[in-house]
C-alpha cells in the first residue's frame, strides 16, 4: 500500500510542484494519474519509490516512511518505467539491458537468464535480444524499458506515459498485460494523457492540477464530468463525448469505452423494439 | 552536492543587475584578466587579493547562490590540487626548502578557485545570445583577415558555424542538466547505487549515466543539424544581426579600470617582491 499524506515538494529552482497532495493506493489497485503538463503527476509518483523525498508531509510504502529507506530497497518493491526510454538504455544488447536491474538486485545468474527469457518472450523482443537497444525504434525501445522493469516483478509498477510512441497493437498488448498484472494482485499506477487508453482499462482516476489532487474516483464518473475535466485540461474519450451529447435522447451518462457503449446501445435498441 | 548542482553555476538567469548590463566583451576581459593574473602569481597574499577582487562582482550581479554552488563543487577539485601539491612538496626536500609546506598548495588551490569563480561569474551574468553576438562580431572579421593572408584556408573555416557550435553548447547546458537528472533517477529506479561501495565501484556506477548522456547528446546534435539545415542554415554568406553590441560609457569605464588594475598587477608582479 502507498500512502502520501499532505505532501509538499519544492524543486531546488524554487518551483513548488506539489502542494498538500494526499493519496492512498491500496494493493492490487489500478490507478491512472492524469492532469495537464506541470500538474505534478511525475513529481508525485517519484515520491513512491523514494527518488524524491517530500519537503513537507510523508509518504509511506507498505507502512515504511520513504525518508528512512534507500531508493534501491524501495525500487525492489516499486518499479518505475520512465517516460523517455533513452534516459535508461546503455547496455550493448537488449538482454543485457533487461538483466541490468536483476543483477543489481542480486538475483543469481540462472534466475536472471530465466526471467530475461520470459520477459523478452512476453514483449516479443526475443528476435532483438542480441541487438543494441540504440538501433531499435522508439516504440521498441520503450518496450525494452518496460520489460527491464517487469523482469524483477515489483509489487507496484509505475508506468509514466507508457503509450508514448506505441502503435495500436502494442497498446493492446500493454493493456492486456496491465489487466493480467491486476489479476495476479499487482498494483499498477499509470501517469498518462491518453484518455482513450485509460477509458478501456476503467481504472480509478486521480486528477491533478497545480500540484494538488483535484478529483479522485472511478473512471466512469471522472471521465464524464466535463466541468472537472475542463479544469484539468482533459477531453473526455470520444465515446463518452458522443454519449454525453446524446443524454437527452435517452443514452446513459457513464459510458466511456467500446464495450460499455455496445451494451448500452443494445439495451436501448431492445427497449425501442419492445 | 552533485555534479549537476555544480553545472547550475554556469547557467545564465535573466536579471537586470549592473553586471548583467555590462557588455559581454568587458565581462570576458574581466574574467580573462583575473585568470591570467591568477596564473601569473603564486604568492598566497596576491591570490587572496585576486580571489577577493571578484567577490564584489558576484554580489553586484546577485548570483551569489549559484556561484556558491559552483565554488562548493569546485572545492573538491581544489582539495585534490592542494593534496597533490602538498604531497609533492612535503616528500621532496628540495621543494620543501623553497616554500613552507602548506602555503604553496593553498595558493595553487586558490588559483584554481579564482579562475573557476571568475568564469562562473561571466557565464552566470552573460546571456548566450549576447555571447553569440560578441563572438560573431570578432570572429568573423578575424577569419576574413586570416583568409586574406592564408588563402588556402578559404572554405576550411566557417566562423558562423564555430560561433553557433559554441553558443549551442552553452545553451544546451540546462537541457543536459535536466536530462542527466532524469538518467540518474532512471538508473536508481533500477537498483543502481551511486553512493555505495568502493571508489572503483562508484566510478563504474557512472557508466550507466554517461553512456545515455553521450548517446543522447550525439542524437540531439544530429537532430539539431538537420533542423538547422532544413531552416536554410548557411544559405547566406554574410549575416546581419537584429541587435548589435555597442560599448556604452559604463562599459568603457569598467574596461579602463580593468586595464589599469591589470597593468598595476603586472608591475607588482615584475618589480615588487611579495612576502608569501
* Alpha carbon distance A163, A186 (integer Å): 19
CB proximity B186 to A under 8 Å = yes
Residues B23 and B86 in one domain: yes
Q: Would you give the DSSP letter of residue A11?
A: -
> Is residue B276 included in any domain, yes or no?
no
Residues B81 and B12 in one domain: yes
Q: Mark the ranges of chain B whose per-residue pLDDT is less than 50.
A: none
Sketch the domain layout of chain A as residue ranges. Answer: 2-219
Q: What is the pLDDT of residue B34?
A: 95
Residues B114 and B153 in one domain: no
Q: How far is B130 from chain A (nearest CA, A)?
A: 24
CB contact under 8 A, A51 and B5: no
> Which structural domain range is residue B40 located in?
3-126+246-271
CB contact under 8 A, B179 and A134: no
Residues B15 and B96 in one domain: yes
Q: What angle do CA A172, A173, A177 make, to 5 degrees?
A: 120
A2-219 folds as: Rossmann fold (3.40.50)
Contacts of A104 in chain B (CB under 8 A): 190-193
Residues B149 and B131 in one domain: yes
Q: What is the pLDDT of residue B97?
A: 55
Q: What is the pLDDT of residue B267?
A: 93
Contacts of B13 in chain A (CB under 8 A): none
CB proximity A47 to B under 8 Å = no
Contacts of B69 in chain A (CB under 8 A): none
Q: What is the pLDDT of residue B129?
A: 86
Q: What is the pLDDT of residue A215?
A: 94
User: Which of B169, B200, B230 represents a domain boundary (last residue)?
Assistant: B169
Residues B234 and B254 in one domain: no
CB proximity B205 to A under 8 Å = no
Q: Name residues whose C-beta falls within 8 Å of residue B18's C-beta, 6 or more positions apart in sequence.
A: B60, B61, B250
Residues B97 and B145 in one domain: no
CB contact under 8 A, B191 and A88: no
Phi, psi values for residue A48, rounded to 5°: -70, -25
Residues B135 and B216 in one domain: no
* Alpha carbon distance A129, A46 (integer Å): 29
Q: How far is B74 from chain A (nearest CA, A)?
A: 19
Q: Name residues whose C-beta falls within 8 Å of residue B144's C-beta, 6 or more positions apart in sequence.
A: none
**pLDDT tens digits for B27-67?**
999 999 999 999 999 889 999 999 999 899 999 999 998 89
Residues B180 and B153 in one domain: no
In terms of DSSP bridges, do strands A187-191 and A204-209 run parallel, antiparallel, or are they unpaired? unpaired
pLDDT exceeds 80 at position A172 = yes
The partner residue sitting opposite A101, judged by closest CB among B183, B185, B190, is: B190
Question: What's the half-sphere exposure (Cβ side, CA atoms, 13 Å) at B115?
Answer: 14
Q: What is the pLDDT of residue B99?
A: 56
Give this complex's ipTM: 0.83
**pLDDT tens digits for A17-41?**
999 999 999 999 999 999 999 999 9
Model's pTM, two decimal places?
0.77
CB contact under 8 A, A72 and B207: no
3-class secondary-structure state, position A165: coil
Q: What is the pLDDT of residue B5?
A: 65
Residues B164 and B198 in one domain: no
pLDDT exceeds 60 at position A260 = yes
* Alpha carbon distance A113, B45 (integer Å): 63
Instruction: Give the best residue of A104, A152, A161 to mutate against chain B (max B CB count within 10 A).
Output: A104
In chain B, how many domains are there?
3
CB proximity B215 to A under 8 Å = yes
H or E segment and range at residue A204:
strand A204-209
Residues B141 and B182 in one domain: no
The residue of chain B with its CA nearest to that of A76 is B191
The partner residue sitting opposite B216, judged by closest CB among A86, A104, A105, is: A86
User: Which of B137, B169, B201 represents a domain boundary (last residue)?
Assistant: B169
CB proximity A118 to B under 8 Å = no
Q: How far is A98 from chain B (nearest CA, A)?
A: 10
3-class secondary-structure state, position A217: strand
Q: What is the pLDDT of residue B3?
A: 61
Q: How far is CA A226 from CA A34, A87, A223, A260, in A?
A: 14, 36, 8, 19
Strand order in the sheet with A212-218: A78-81, A156-160, A187-191, A30-34, A204-209, A212-218
Amino acid at each position: 500500500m502507498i500512502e502520501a499524506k499532505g505532501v509538499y515538494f519544492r524543486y531546488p529552482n524554487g518551483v513548488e510542484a506539489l502542494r498538500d497532495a494526499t493519496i492512498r493506493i491500496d494493493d492490487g489497485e489500478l490507478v491512472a494519474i492524469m492532469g495537464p503538463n506541470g500538474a505534478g503527476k511525475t513529481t508525485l509518483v517519484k515520491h513512491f519509490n523514494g527518488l524524491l523525498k517530500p519537503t513537507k508531509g510523508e509518504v509511506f510504502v507498505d507502512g515504511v516512511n520513504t525518508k528512512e529507506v534507500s531508493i534501491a530497497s524501495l525500487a525492489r518493491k516499486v518499479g518505475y518505467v520512465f517516460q523517455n526510454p533513452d534516459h535508461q538504455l546503455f547496455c550493448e544488447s537488449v538482454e543485457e539491458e533487461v538483466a541490468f536491474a536483476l543483477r543489481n538486485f542480486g538475483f543469481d545468474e540462472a534466475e536472471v537468464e530465466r526471467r530475461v527469457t520470459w520477459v523478452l518472450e512476453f514483449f516479443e523482443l526475443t528476435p532483438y535480444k542480441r541487438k543494441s537497444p540504440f538501433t531499435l525504434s522508439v516504440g521498441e525501445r520503450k518496450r525494452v524499458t518496460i520489460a527491464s522493469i517487469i523482469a524483477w516483478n515489483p509489487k507496484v509498477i509505475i508506468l509514466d506515459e507508457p503509450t508514448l510512441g506505441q502503435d495500436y497493437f502494442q497498446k493492446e498488448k500493454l493493456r492486456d498485460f496491465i489487466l493480467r498484472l491486476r489479476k495476479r494482485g499487482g498494483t499498477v499506477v499509470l501517469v498518462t494523457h491518453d484518455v482513450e487508453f485509460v477509458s478501456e482499462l476503467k481504472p480509478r482516476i486521480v486528477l491533478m492540477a497545480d500540484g494538488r489532487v483535484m478529483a479522485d474516483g472511478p473512471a466512469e464518473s471522472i471521465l464524464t464530468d466535463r466541468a472537472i475535466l475542463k479544469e484539468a485540461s482533459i477531453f473526455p474519450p470520444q465515446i463518452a463525448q458522443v454519449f454525453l451529447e446524446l443524454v437527452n435522447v435517452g443514452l446513459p451518462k457513464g459510458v466511456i469505452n467500446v464495450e460499455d457503449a455496445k451494451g448500452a446501445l443494445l439495451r436501448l435498441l431492445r427497449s425501442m423494439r419492445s | 552536492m552533485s555534479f549537476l548542482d555544480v553545472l547550475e553555476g554556469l547557467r545564465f538567469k535573466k536579471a537586470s543587475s549592473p553586471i548583467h548590463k555590462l557588455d559581454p566583451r568587458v565581462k570576458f576581459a574581466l574574467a580573462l584578466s583575473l585568470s591570467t593574473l591568477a596564473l601569473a602569481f603564486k604568492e598566497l597574499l596576491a591570490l587572496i587579493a585576486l580571489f577577493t577582487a571578484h567577490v564584489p562582482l558576484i554580489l553586484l550581479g546577485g548570483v551569489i547562490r549559484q556561484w556558491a554552488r559552483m565554488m562548493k563543487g569546485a572545492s573538491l577539485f581544489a582539495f585534490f590540487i592542494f593534496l597533490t601539491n602538498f604531497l609533492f612538496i612535503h616528500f621532496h626536500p628540495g621543494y620543501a626548502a623553497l616554500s613552507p609546506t602548506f602555503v604553496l598548495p593553498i595558493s595553487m588551490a586558490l588559483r584554481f578557485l579564482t579562475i573557476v569563480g571568475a568564469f562562473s561569474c561571466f557565464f552566470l551574468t552573460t546571456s548566450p545570445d549576447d555571447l553569440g553576438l560578441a563572438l560573431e562580431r570578432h570572429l568573423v572579421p578575424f577569419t576574413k583577415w586570416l583568409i586574406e593572408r592564408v588563402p588556402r584556408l578559404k572554405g576550411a573555416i566557417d566562423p558562423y558555424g564555430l560561433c553557433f557550435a559554441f553558443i549551442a553548447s552553452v545553451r544546451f547546458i540546462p537541457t543536459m542538466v535536466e536530462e542527466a537528472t532524469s538518467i540518474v533517477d532512471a538508473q536508481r529506479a533500477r537498483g543502481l547505487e551511486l553512493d555505495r561501495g568502493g571508489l572503483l565501484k562508484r566510478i563504474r556506477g557512472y557508466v550507466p549515466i554517461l553512456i545515455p548522456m553521450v548517446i543522447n547528446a550525439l542524437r540531439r546534435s544530429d537532430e539539431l543539424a538537420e533542423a538547422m539545415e532544413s531552416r536554410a542554415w548557411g544559405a547566406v554568406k554574410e549575416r546581419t544581426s537584429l541587435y548589435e553590441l555597442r560599448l556604452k560609457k559604463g562599459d568603457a569605464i569598467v574596461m579602463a579600470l580593468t586595464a589599469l588594475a591589470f597593468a598595476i598587477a603586472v608591475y607588482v608582479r615584475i618589480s615588487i617582491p611579495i612576502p608569501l
